[in-house]
Amino acid sequence: MSASYMHIGIPVTNRKPGMTYNDGLKIWMSNPDDHDYKIEYLKFEEGTPFPEIMHKNPHVAYKVDDIERYVKDADSLIFPATEIAPGMRIAFIIKDDAIIELCEQK
């Protein structure tokens, strides 16, 4: 298994400058590559498919080589593997009491 750090995601209640909206996921998000510390700010809107636990808790994101292997190793799955762009899938798991985003790019 191979994982490399991508960013930390922090939920916020007010939009920050530079955030963009994803209509399909009903979420405002910043680009972690625009931040020295690789922070992704997230503002969840009504109707988002992301579970409530993510609305109030930070997560750490990793690029992984095989998303299914990490999902199988998780303590629990809170958001199933979903294609968010061509060739890019994400999933959110809980492992050792931490929320972890898995990102697989093919």
Domain boundaries, the chain: 3-105
Radius of gyration of the chain (CA): 13
Quick one: what percent of the chain has pLDDT higher than 70? 99
Banded pLDDT at 36 (limits 50, 70, 90): very high
Domain 3-105 classified CATH 3.10.180.10?
yes
SS3 101: strand
pLDDT digits (tens, 9 = 90+) for 48-91: 999 999 999 999 999 999 999 999 999 999 999 999 889 999 99
Summarize pLDDT for 4-23 with one digit per residue, the tens: 999 999 999 999 999 999 99
**Quick one: which of 36, 23, 29 has its CA closest to 9?**
29
Confidence of residue 2 (pLDDT cuts 50, 70, 90): confident
Q: Are residues 16 and 5 in contact, defined by beta-carbon separation less than 8 angstroms?
A: no
pLDDT at 85: 87
Q: Return d(Cα 48, Cα 103) in angstroms, integer.
A: 19
Cβ–Cβ under 8 Å, residues 57 and 12: no
